[in-house]
Structure 1
């Protein structure tokens, strides 16, 4: 078996005092699943690890089940390998190097999304904010940050994300996850 590096993105933890998952407890929990080189990044549900075998879907189920058993609540989890994370970073349609990390975000989806899902949103109505779809990802340019983004609020509506797990990270985190999962 080949060891691969992954990032598990836990959705909606440690926000406003809800669904508290201390990173100091998450690391040994992941190690207990047999994963190695476990590292967390920030308090917002980013954990990288190495695993022998498995696929993203089985790793997502294992991490979600372990978190539920340990902390007593369910959490949506998206797991992606290094190659995918790097490809998403490299495919960014916005000038990432010229922007601040808080101005650019990636929403990772649990499955592919079509342009039809977002057809009701007119990006021109939100200019200069803008978005583009990628491979199981959505890129959002919000020059004043996500917290005040009207386009971000529209894109995050539950009806648009029905049937999907969707979890967003700012560009600084996108880049850091690529670094932390690098296998070289």
Structure 2
């Protein structure tokens, strides 16, 4: 059974560090036996199909190992099915259609983001910024963008995300990855 996935790489191609050219990332994914490999932007977004009956975690581990072998450094990755990405968008509690893509973000996690992790954050202190939790995702509304978001910093502190891989995508990228993973 063929399934389409998105691979989300964390922290690559930022300020010239941890360079992973997208053409080489496509080669890595194809080398793992995946097909229909496409990348989006230079920030570590790839889409592929596979017949492998592997879990997202197994696909993630294989990709992380292959990247380390190819580039000589480890990159945290998350692999998510297109159906999961669409469900995340459908469950968004913020009025995405009324916002600019840079104002709304999905922070994807490698595991459940239990509310207790965020209990120490005084939400009122960050208004008008807001966040809401979903299935292995945090929705972040940052009206001035992620780069200026104080709440974005608070929800990504090591004490909050300890033990989880987290990677954020703006809403434009979220929607584009859903479009790319749609199975016709």
Normalising by structure 1, report the TM-score: 0.98
| Number of residue pairs matched by the alignment | 183
The aligned counterpart of 2:102 is 102
The aligned counterpart of 1:122 is 122
Question: Any stretches of 5+ residues in structure 2 without a counterpart?
Answer: none
Counterparts of residues 141-160 of structure 1 (less than 5 Å): 141-160=141-160
Deviations, residues 49-100 of structure 1 (Å, cap 9, x unaligned): 0011211011001100100000000000101001100000010000000000
Q: Quick one: distance in 1 between partners of 2:111 and 2:65?
A: 20
Counterparts of residues 139-178 of structure 1 (less than 5 Å): 139-178=139-178
Question: Any stretches of 5+ residues in structure 1 without a counterpart?
Answer: none
The aligned counterpart of 1:31 is 30
The aligned counterpart of 1:90 is 90
Counterparts of residues 70-89 of structure 1 (less than 5 Å): 70-89=70-89
Q: Quick one: distance in 2 between partners of 1:161 and 1:16?
A: 23
Deviations, residues 133-164 of structure 1 (Å, cap 9, x unaligned): 00000000000000011101111111111000
Q: Quick one: distance in 2 between partners of 1:18 and 1:49?
A: 25
Runs of 4+ in structure 1 deviating by more than 2 angstroms, as ranges, are none
Normalising by structure 2, report the TM-score: 0.98
Residue 34 of structure 2 is aligned to residue 42 of structure 1: no
Q: Quick one: distance in 2 between partners of 1:21 and 1:77?
A: 13
- SS of equivalent to 2:159: coil
Q: Quick one: distance in 2 between partners of 1:165 and 1:50?
A: 23
Give the RMSD, CA atoms, in angstroms. Answer: 0.6
Q: Quick one: distance in 1 between partners of 2:160 and 2:113?
A: 10
